[in-house]
Amino acid sequence: MLNHPQATSAPWRIGVLFSRTGFMSVIEETQYQGTQLAIEEINAAGGICGRELVPVAYDPGSDSIAYGHFAKRLMIEDDVNAIFGCYTSSSRKAVLPVVERLNGLLWYPTLYEGFEASPNVIYTGASPNQNSLSLCRYLMDNYGGRFYFVGSDYIYPRESNRVMRELLTANGGSVVGERYVSVHARWQDFLPIVQDIRRVKPDVVFSTVVGDSTVYLYQAYANVGLDPKMMPIASLTTTEAEIAAMGHDVGEGHITAASYFQGIEGHANDCFVSRYKKRFGNDVSTNMCAEASYFQMYLFARALEQANTLDTEVLRAMVLGISFDAPQGAVTVDPMSGHTDLWTRIGRANRKGQFDIINESREAVHADPFLIGYGRAAGYAG
């Protein structure tokens, strides 16, 4: 252990792993910024137990395998054992054996497919019961039950679609198409897919496409004349950041389920949005991934304040059950699963590149990463 709880003014060194280059940087740069903003605020307020947070940051360049290598370097060469990072589930899966073997703690601020609970991870993004469930219900009620799946080809889209298929079929809906593209897909790769969508005429398209490809899917959709008013693309991964990249006119009318949108009203979010814009520019928007990256640093800081050590066992014990008044509303880390109770919202993108919130939970929804409360095939009943 590096950081003993004795009196010292030495900084707390922490690892940061987000891709600031490559096809995932469209969203991971915002996670980096959310992390950076929280660190700067915490340090400006005097640090933790009088000690500053100092990030040791690497850019894995959107290469999943590189996340594993950098996690190892952070833990072995840089003597860091708390790592804040990862967007894709494939990058998380590359870091997982490293933090499990070397007993580190990964703070993971991204929605994912669920069905995982490592003692070496704190999950601060949504599980399927906190986004897919309400999205499925909303889409079936408002558009119909014939869904067409389009996803990037890796674990999150395939697993997320497996869950969505279960929810859908348990409630009388059906999957009328399912297509996967490389994470490097370009505009022309989506053309045959949007043409197939035009032919099949589903009620809704469910996209689990991530990164730069998101932009190409929505642009190809608009280009062949598909109209979001009649048949929207619904997603869990298309945030304000991807909408800004594709163009507000292209994104307008499409639907996303998320715990956070920039337009949420309330003091905590007003402060977050104005500080974020002051730091990174008036023209940038916050989004669910930046927000989770921001509030998880505050959860960490609170736990570290109590633990006064980066020892994983001690720190994790302090983290479990901890709450924070996040920009999305109050959130709590569930002691059983290490996942976070989060708010559930559905938004429709407007002409300004923001989401109008059309549906929202009354309180934070309990994290249920294994969908135990719903039964594996019982769908969204209740």
Closest by CA position to 345, among listed 236, 268, 198, 233: 236
**Closer residue to ligand ACM, CB minimum distance, 88 or 354:** 88
Q: How far is the CB of 126 from ligand ACM (least distance, A)?
A: 10
CB of 27 to ligand ACM, least distance (A): 9
Asked if 347 contacts 240 with a C-beta cutoff of 8 angstroms, the reply is: no
Residues 305-324 that bind ligand ACM (CB under 6 A): none
Task: Give the three-class secondary structure for 216.
Answer: helix
**Token reading at 235:** 């997603």
Min CB(96)–ligand ACM separation in Å: 13
Q: With residue 40 as reference, give the H or E element that holds it.
A: helix 25-44
Q: Where are the beta strands (DSSP E) in 190-344?
A: 204-208, 233-235, 255-258, 323-326, 329-333, 340-341
Query: Measured from the CB of residue 85, what is the shortest distance to ligand ACM in angstroms?
Result: 12
Residues 204-233 that bind ligand ACM (CB under 6 A): 210
Of 3 and 25, which has the nearer Cβ to ligand ACM? 25
Is residue 156 at the binding interface for ligand ACM, with CB under 6 A as the rule? Answer: yes
111 or 231: CB nearest ligand ACM: 111
Of the listed pieces 99-107, 109-117, 186-194, 319-327, which binds ligand ACM according to CB under 6 A?
109-117
Contact between 108 and ligand ACM per CB under 6 A: no
DSSP-derived 3-state class of residue 305: helix
Output DSSP code: residue 130. Answer: G
Element (H, E) at 179: strand 174-181
The closest alpha carbon to 28, from 115, 94, 86, 105, belongs to: 86
In angstroms, give the least distance from the CB of 112 to ligand ACM: 4
Q: How far is the CB of 287 from ligand ACM (least distance, A)?
A: 13
Q: How far apart are CA 381 and CA 41, in angstroms?
A: 43
Structure tokens at 121: 């991870």
Question: Which one, 39 or 95, has the nearer CB to ligand ACM?
Answer: 95
Q: Which of residues 112-151 bind ligand ACM (CB under 6 A)?
A: 112
CA distance 163 to 116: 14
Closer to ligand ACM by Cβ: residue 128 or 173: 128
- Of 25, 33, 88, 293, the one binding ligand ACM (CB under 6 A) is 88
Q: Which is nearer to ligand ACM, 88 or 214 (CB)?
A: 88
> By C-beta, is 89 or 286 nearer to ligand ACM?
89
* Angstrom distances, CA of residue 85 to CA of 58, 71, 322, 342: 10, 10, 20, 19
Asked whether 104 and 70 are in contact (CB, 8 A), the reply is no
Q: How many Cα neighbours within 13 Å face the side chain of 24?
A: 26
| 110 lies in the site for ligand ACM, by CB under 6 A | yes
CB nearer to ligand ACM: give 59 or 242. Answer: 242
Contacts of 158 (CB under 8 A, 6+ apart): 151, 180
Stretch in the footprint of ligand ACM (CB under 6 A) among 110-118, 172-180, 223-231, 316-324: 110-118
With contacts defined by CB under 6 A, name the span among 31-39, 69-77, 105-113, 221-229 that binds ligand ACM. Answer: 105-113
Q: How far is the CB of 236 from ligand ACM (least distance, A)?
A: 8
Within 10 A of 50 (CB to CB), how many other CB atoms are there?
A: 9
C-alpha neighbours within 13 Å on the C-beta side of residue 231: 24
Cβ-proximal residue to ligand ACM, closest one: 156
Please give the size of the binding site for ligand ACM, defined by CB under 6 A: 8
- Of 30, 33, 81, 89, the one binding ligand ACM by CB under 6 A: 89
Q: How far is the CB of 275 from ligand ACM (least distance, A)?
A: 26
What are the residues binding ligand ACM (CB under 6 A)?
88-89, 110-112, 156, 210, 237
